[in-house]
Structures are given as C-alpha cells and as structure tokens.
Structure 1
C-alpha cells in the first residue's frame, strides 16, 4: 500500500495541510492489523507526538517514539503494533525533491557542508531532536484543526525554520549529507533500490516510483545494470532468500512467504517446486 496515497485520499481520517504540493498530516493512527506492508514514493519526516510504532526494513527495526525524529526515504517497510501499543499520534511531512532543493539552496550559505559523512544507504534514518526542533513542529499542530487561520507564507516560514534547525543540529550531519545529495544531480542507483526492497511484494511500477523513475526508464536502467528483466531477477532473489530461510531458521512457511515478497502460499510453492523439484517442506526436511 502506498502510504502517501492512503493519507492523501482520506482527509477525514488523516488531518492534513498542503503547502506548494507538499502534504503534511497529523493524525492518530487507525492501524488494527498487527503488521502492515507499506511503501512511500516520497521522502517523509516523522515526528511522534505520543505512543509508538515499530518500523521494520529488512532485518532491522526502529521504534518510533517521541525521543527522536525519523527520516523515511523512498522505499517499502513493515509497520507493526508493539505488544504494549497505545494510541499513536504522529506528524508526517511528505517532501518532494524539488521543494527540498529550493529550501536547501536558500539555506546553503548557513550550512556546514564540508566534512559531511558518507550518505548511509539505510532507508530509515533517525535524527536528534532538541527544544528548538520540538517547538517548531509542535507549533504546526494547532493549525490542522483550523487551517484557514494560517496563511501559506506564515506556514512556510514555520516549516523552513523546522528544516533549518534539523539540518544545523551537530548530531544530524547524516541527514544534512542525504539532503545535500538528493538536491544535486544525484540519481538513486537501481541496485540500491532493488537490494533494499526486493523482499517486499511490490509491482514493477511501484519499484519505479521508489527509484524516482518512469516505469519505462526503470526497466531500461534495470536491464542495463542486471542484464535481465526485473521479473526474472525478483524471482531468483526471492526464491534464494526463501531457500536460505528454510534451512537456516525456524520461521514458518507463512512467515517466509511474507518476508520474501511472494503473493501467497500457492504462488511460492509453485515457483519453489519448479526451481528445486521438491516442495518447500520437503526441501527443509532434506536439508536440516
């Protein structure tokens, strides 16, 4: 599920404001399922107001609470209810590259861009909060109830102040490095998108969105890099991941299917048997 589209198309559930085509949401999470697979084709900044959620990407997990802010790059992830979950109130800012570039260029002379760390390829990045940053994002919250009270110029000023305070915080240089990269001529490599997200059940068009390409450009760049089609590559990567989990873990077949991007049991079993000439259960028993 595209979390941006879910938020944008349900303003009655997700209180929202817009600023020059950027979407800002403040809501109490309605999630009922234990775990959801989501993806976003936008960079997003997330500030927990109260409660918490667990975000998982690959084998790593992060607890979203009010102690840190989080940057979620374009990509897929699992959102999970913690065992002791309570209502989760959160502010989410969806930011497009062009608008980020405009703000970054405005602040460039005030930012320390020398000796920045190497950009981390991890999709999820937490960043530090201080009193200035908290005051900035908390000052936005009342306007979700009365958006007509806030002219765009004032709202944009508040938002820019928030971004500026995040970027100048000395412990947030990794965020500054990432914004510096994407606001230049940087194009996310195909391999970076695919290696991080192949375990999620996404359509080719959704992989293209995450990579910030049209579907046709994505297919062309993919085949140039990998020498095969996305469908064939995904099948190979997912079946190999599933094979390794069968012999190296105690995960159930259902969990393996969910964690390797297959559509359902029959889809997985058919592909596995076509590849290894035995069922997944038989393969596990033979190779324990």
Structure 2
C-alpha cells in the first residue's frame, strides 16, 4: 500500500526500502499520496478491489481510504518506492492561490487508487527526487515545498479529474453504518477512524452501532473477525498464521486464545 504517512515534523517526501521477502500491513490513508514504484511489486486492497503496481509504475492513492498492502521485493533484490504526501493544508493554499474549485460529485466517482501514465514529465520529476532519497540527503523546507507544488501541477496535467479530487476538501458524510462495518471489519484501525469514515463523532458512532448491532463495537468486531477466521480455516483450508493479520488481529497468540475461547477448539485443531 502506500507507505506510512510521515508525521507533521518530517518530510512530505518518503522513500521506502524493504529487504523482507513479503511485508504485509495496513493503514488509514489520511492524505493523498503520489507514488513511484522503483523496484519490486506493491499489491493494494481496499476491501473491494485489488491493485498491483510493478517497477516503473506510478500511482495516486486518494485520502480517507482503508487499505491493506503487500510489499514484495524482486528476486535477490530490494523493494523500493518513493511517495509525495499532499496535505490538505498544502492543497488548500494551492487552490486559493490559483483559483481552483472542485466538483464533489466528480471527485466521488473516481477510483480510490489510480494508476497514472508515466510520460517524460512524470518520469523526470520522480527521478529528480532519487538523489535526495537514495543518498540520504536532507531536503530543506523551501525545496520540499517546491517539489510538492511541482507534484500537484504534474497531477493536474495527468488527468482532468485530478482537479476535483485534489481540491475536494469535504469530509466523509453520514453513511450506512451497518453496510460499512460488514465491508470493513477486517481493517485493524482505531474506533475513531471507523467513526470518521462513517461521518460520525465517536460518541454518535458508538450509540448508532449499539442500536444496530445490539452490542459494543469492540465485541462485535472480535466476534465477526473470528467468524471469518473459522470460515477461512474450516472451509478454505487456511492456517491461523495465514489469516490472523488478514482478518484484523495484530498478534497470533491473542488470535489463537480468542478463537479457542469462542469455539472451544484451537485454530490448529480445527484445521486438522
């Protein structure tokens, strides 16, 4: 998936380099991200679609997305990518300066992850960032700002819909909570993220949730994840170590304990 977002004191330009055979993870993409896959393969899944990016590919990930990812280095090689994080503050400033306004309806129709065409302009821009990232040189704030603005201008040239995506500053509206949770229960994010993405305050989310499901969010999430695990292990022949991250658990031992408590048998015994 996209690389973890740097904190507000670090650079908006992030270089990712992994030697591990398969690095799996998930995150909440809170900002738009413009990325270049230097080497290796990145697989992104948002719960509905799977996107695969290989060396030489460019991608744009929209903000407010729950996504899972797998970073796969090439044979005897290293996974490398470089990303530019486009914050709301930066985009608001750019929109005001240049008089841009978004069509919210058009923005909502766009894909959550967009494969971008390369071309000499995009390729040249990404390659201009490599000396700073690969040589571990620090980019001063002024140069960072120029590079981020250049990235915005390149994106605007890449596709007409980018204007509507980049400058749509609306927050998630109130949506069907039940449908959203059944779709996204396997994402291991904090409760306030679920609340935000369903257009609710945390207190309203918990109140609405209990009204719909007649239990607390944390209890429902654990039960729903364990039900999915039971299905995958018993019906699909998967193993506990293969599924616990996929369904939203952080720790294999905690998953095994919770599974045995709910079903009276360990995941390994069920598989056997």
TM over 0.5: yes
Of the structure 1 ranges 94-103 and 252-261, higher mean CA displacement relative to structure 2 is found in: 94-103
2:127 alignment partner in structure 1: 138
2:117 alignment partner in structure 1: 128
1:34 alignment partner in structure 2: 22
1:167 alignment partner in structure 2: 156
Q: Please give the TM-score of this superposition, normalised by the length of structure 1.
A: 0.68
Which residue of 52, 69, 73 corresponds with 1:78?
69
Structure 1: gaps (5+ residues): 9-17
How much has 1:284 moved relative to structure 2?
Answer: 5.5
1:230 alignment partner in structure 2: 217
2:57 alignment partner in structure 1: 67
Which residue of 204, 214, 226 corresponds with 1:220?
204
Q: Distance in 2 between matches of 1:85 and 1:35?
A: 15
Q: Distance in 2 between matches of 1:64 and 1:271?
A: 37
Structure 2: gaps (5+ residues): none
Aligned length: 261
Alpha carbon RMSD of aligned pairs, Å? 4.1
Residue 29 of structure 1 aligns to a residue whose secondary structure is strand
Q: Distance in 1 between matches of 2:242 and 2:149?
A: 43
Flag the 1:82–1:249 CA change in 2: closer, same or farther, 3 A. Answer: farther
Flag the 1:195–1:280 CA change in 2: closer, same or farther, 3 A. Answer: same
1:1-288 pair list within 5 angstroms: 4=4, 23-27=11-15, 29-32=17-20, 34-40=22-28, 42-48=30-36, 50-57=38-45, 58=47, 60-71=50-61, 73=63, 74-82=65-73, 84=75, 86-109=77-100, 113=103, 116=106, 118-120=108-110, 122=112, 124-142=113-131, 145=137, 147-148=139-140, 152=142, 155-170=144-159, 173=161, 175-181=162-168, 183-187=169-173, 191=177, 194=181, 197-204=184-191, 207=193, 211=197, 217-225=201-209, 227=211, 228-280=215-267
Residue 245 of structure 2 aligns to a residue whose secondary structure is helix
Q: Distance in 2 between matches of 1:39 and 1:79?
A: 12
How much has 1:261 moved relative to structure 2?
Answer: 1.7
Q: Please give the TM-score of this superposition, normalised by the length of structure 2.
A: 0.71
